C-alpha cells in the first residue's frame, strides 16, 4: 500500500486572468524541469487542496494545480457567469500556453474526470496520458443517483439523506436540484448560505469508505459549501454543458491515449458502473477497482493513483 509523498509547498503561485470576470488561482509544485502534469479538481466548485500535491513524485513531476472558475481561491468566489465546461476547457488550454507546455499528463477525479475526458477529446494532441479517478460522465442517471429519492445514494445513507431532503418542503422534493437552486439564488444571503451548507454536507459526508453518519463532511466550511453548491447545481441544471452521452460517444478521439481508470468499488457518489461503462467503450484503458469509496484519499485508491503516476512512461 503506497502512502502519499511528503508534504510539499508550491514553488510558484499566481493568478491567471482568463476573461474580464474570472481570475484563476494557480500553483506549481515539484520539479520545475520535470514532466508536466495538470491536476483537475472535482465538484464542480470543490477547489484544490494541499493533499492533492502529494500524489506525484516531486523529483520527477512538474505539477500544475489550479482552482477552476468560481472555486477555491479563484475570483470571484462562486461566480457562475461564463462558467461552463467549454469555458473550463479553454482555461486549461490558456494555462498550458501561459506555462509554455507542449503536452502534459492530465490527472482528474470525480468532476475532474469529466473535465479531463472533455478536454482530452477536444485537445487530444496535447495529452500524453490520462489518470482518472471516481468517474463521472455527466449523465442524468448519475445526477439522479446522488439527488433522487429512489434507489441510489439515499438508500445507503438514509440519515444523511433525511437531513438533506428535509431542508426542502415536501411539495418540492420531486426535483431536489431545482429546489436547491431556488434557495441558492434567494435574495436573502442567510437562505443562500443554509442551502449551500445543506447541499455540501450531503455530498461531502458520503465520500469515504468508512462513514460517520454524524460527523462533518469535507465541504462543511461556508466558503467551500457556497462554491461547491452553486457550481454543482448550475452544472447539473445544464446537463454539465455536455451533449447526451457525449463523453462515451466521442471516445474514439482518445482511444490512442494511454489511460488508467481508478474507481472505488463502494463509491456512493459516482457508482462503480460509471467506470465500467467508460472502460467498456475504451478497452485500451486500464480499469482498477479499489476497496474504497469515492474519496481520493481512501487508502487503496490513494495507493493506486500514486502507483499509476509512478508507472507513467518517462
Distance CA 80, CA 238 (A): 12
Number of H-type helices and E-type strands within the chain? 11, 8
Q: Is 110 a catalytic residue?
A: yes
Phi/psi of residue 270, each to 5°? -125, 100
> Is position 123 annotated as part of the catalytic site?
no
Q: Do the Cβ atoms of 313 and 297 come closer than 8 Å?
A: no
The residue annotated as part of the active site, out of 22, 234, 263, 294, is 294
Cα–Cα distance, 192 to 218 (Å, whole number): 19
Tally of CB atoms within 10 A around 206:
24
Catalytic residue among 267, 295, 296, 298: 267
**Residue 251 to residue 256: CA distance in whole angstroms:** 10
| Catalytic-labelled residue, pool 74, 110, 129, 201 | 110
What span, in angstroms and rounded, lies between the C-alpha atoms of 199 and 78?
14
Burial-class residue 273 by CB neighbours within 10 Å (0-12, 13-18, 19+): middle
**Which residues are known catalytic residues?**
110, 267, 294
Amino acid at each position: 500500500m503506497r502512502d502519499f509523498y511528503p508534504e510539499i509547498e508550491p514553488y510558484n503561485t499566481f493568478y491567471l486572468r482568463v476573461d474580464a470576470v474570472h481570475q484563476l488561482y494557480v500553483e506549481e509544485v515539484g520539479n520545475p524541469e520535470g514532466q508536466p502534469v495538470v491536476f483537475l479538481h472535482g465538484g464542480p466548485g470543490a477547489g484544490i487542496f494541499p493533499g492533492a500535491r502529494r500524489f506525484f513524485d516531486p523529483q520527477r513531476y512538474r505539477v500544475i494545480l489550479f482552482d477552476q472558475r468560481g472555486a477555491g481561491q479563484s475570483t470571484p468566489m462562486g461566480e457562475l457567469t461564463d462558467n461552463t465546461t467549454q469555458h473550463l476547457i479553454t482555461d486549461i488550454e490558456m494555462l498550458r500556453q501561459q506555462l509554455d507546455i507542449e503536452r502534459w499528463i492530465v490527472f482528474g477525479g470525480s468532476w475532474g474526470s469529466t473535465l479531463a475526458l472533455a478536454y482530452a477529446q477536444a485537445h487530444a494532441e496535447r495529452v500524453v496520458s490520462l489518470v482518472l479517478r471516481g468517474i463521472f460522465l455527466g449523465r442524468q442517471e448519475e445526477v439522479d443517483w446522488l439527488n433522487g429519492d429512489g434507489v441510489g445514494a439515499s438508500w445507503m445513507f438514509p440519515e444523511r439523506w433525511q437531513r438533506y431532503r428535509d431542508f426542502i418542503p415536501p411539495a418540492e422534493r420531486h426535483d431536489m436540484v431545482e429546489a436547491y437552486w431556488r434557495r441558492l439564488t434567494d435574495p436573502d444571503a442567510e437562505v443562500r448560505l443554509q442551502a449551500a451548507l445543506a447541499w455540501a454536507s450531503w455530498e461531502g459526508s458520503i465520500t469515504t469508505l468508512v462513514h460517520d453518519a454524524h460527523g462533518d463532511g469535507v465541504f462543511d466550511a461556508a466558503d467551500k459549501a457556497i462554491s461547491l453548491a452553486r457550481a454543482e447545481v448550475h452544472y447539473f441544471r445544464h446537463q454539465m454543458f455536455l451533449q447526451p452521452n457525449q463523453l462515451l460517444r466521442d471516445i474514439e478521439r482518445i482511444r490512442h491515449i494511454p489511460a488508467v481508470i481508478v474507481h472505488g468499488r463502494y463509491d456512493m457518489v459516482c457508482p462503480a458502473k460509471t467506470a465500467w461503462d467508460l472502460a467498456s467503450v475504451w478497452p485500451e484503458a486500464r480499469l482498477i477497482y479499489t476497496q474504497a469509496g469515492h474519496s481520493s484519499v481512501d487508502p487503496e485508491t490513494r495507493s493506486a493513483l500514486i502507483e499509476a503516476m509512478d508507472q507513467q512512461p518517462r
